[in-house]
Every structure is written in structure tokens, then in C-alpha cells.
Structure 1
Amino acid sequence: MAEKMPQDPRKKKLTREEEYFAEQELTKRASLREKLNQEREESRQRQEKEAHWMKCPKCGGELQEKQFEHVMIDQCPSCQGIWLDAGEMELLLHAHQSVVSSIGESLRKILK
């Protein structure tokens, strides 16, 4: 006598109730998967930031913050590079507007 093969549960005709719960389960799994993917991406970004935080983009040395005028700049003791955060260049230019203007005028005279 041949044994009856168990039916593949994916091919089984589902009742309305079973369909509802199957759909709920799929939705829940998709939501959990999305949440896990988001957490992984946030973790990756955090690790990347920590790996590059206060590192010189030119040589990889540790940047040190130094006060220049009224602005904190980042300087690399290895290559002597100076790095400015967003808005710091504008602060320095604004503080020395007369110097910048005279340099600009001198350059215009030279380039004529």
C-alpha cells in the first residue's frame, strides 16, 4: 500500500482565516526585515564615522583642534594640513573682509 505523501503547505488551499493570518505573518516579517536592515545600515554608518572621526583626509593622522582667531580649526600634526568644518571659512573671511577685499583688488589689477 502506497503511503500518502504529505501535501506541500504552500500549495494547500487556505481558508479565509488562514489567508488572513498568513498575510499578517508576511507583513510582520517584512516589517521586521525592514527594521533589521535599517538598524544594520545605521550601525554601518556609525562604525564608518567612528573609523574616520578626526582623521586627516590627506594622510590619515589624528587631527587636533586648535583655536585660530575665533574659530576652532582641525590641524594634522603629521602633514600640517588644516581642515575647516562647514561655515568656518565664511567666519574667517568675514572677520578679515578688508584683507580679502584688498587681495581681490590687487589680483584684479594684476590680471588686467
Structure 2
Amino acid sequence: MVSKPSELEEEYIARMEYEKRKKIEEEKHKKLAEEEKKRLKELHYMRCPKCGMELIEIDYKGIKVDKCSECEGLWLDAGELEAVSRLEKSGLDKLFSVFKK
């Protein structure tokens, strides 16, 4: 004879099933978020944050400065502003002279 699970056992089984399904859904969401992040990176990589046109990267004394091919905005990646601030005034002038027309 098969015995019926107790109410506590039923609650435990239901809770475990919920946790299992919840974990599966969270993993699906994480994968979708990673795919969306990758898609957006491909869409926006080396594009001007202001106008969306292509950026031209110039390496000057180990600092990679990105300049927009359209609006001529200058963009720095993380840590590059600190590197620019350590340049002497003459080095800074030379950096910006690279971008003058």
C-alpha cells in the first residue's frame, strides 16, 4: 500500500520544485541578458556616444584617445583621463595638436 505524503512533505516537495524552476528561469534570464549585452556592444562598439558615428582611435604616448569622425568629440576610456592629467603641459598641448585641422 502506498502512503500519502504528509502536508509538510507536500510543502517541502512543492518548495523544492519551485526553487528548481526558479533557478532554471534565472539562468534563462541571465543568458538573455548576456546575449543582449553582447548585441549592444557589437552595435555600439567604437561609435560616438553623442552622435553615433565611427570613432578614430589615436595612440599617443600609450594613451588611446578616440575622436569622432563627425562631431569631433574626444573620448577617453577608463583610466585614460588620469593618464592625460599626468602629462606635462607641453605633452598635453602636443596631444591636442594631433587633432587640430
Stretches of structure 2 that go unaligned for 5 or more consecutive residues are 93-101
Task: Decide which of 35, 45, 51 is 1:43's aligned counterpart.
Answer: 35
- 2:80 aligned partner, one-letter code: E
Give runs of aligned pairs for residues 37-76 of structure 1, distance below 5 A.
37-76=29-68
Could you list the structure 1 runs, at least 4 aligned residues long, displaced by more than 6 angstroms after superposition: none
Aligned length: 87
Superposed CA RMSD in Å reads 2.6
Q: Which residue of 1 aligns with 2:80?
A: 88
With normalisation by structure 1, the TM-score equals 0.62
Q: Which residue of 1 aligns with 2:18?
A: 26
Identity of aligned residues (%): 38
Higher strand content, 1 or 2: 2
Stretches of structure 1 that go unaligned for 5 or more consecutive residues are 1-13, 101-112
Query: CA-to-partner distance for each residue in 1:41-74, whole Å, 9 max, x for gaps?
Result: 2222222222211110121111121123431111
Three-state SS of the structure 2 residue aligned to 1:95 is: coil
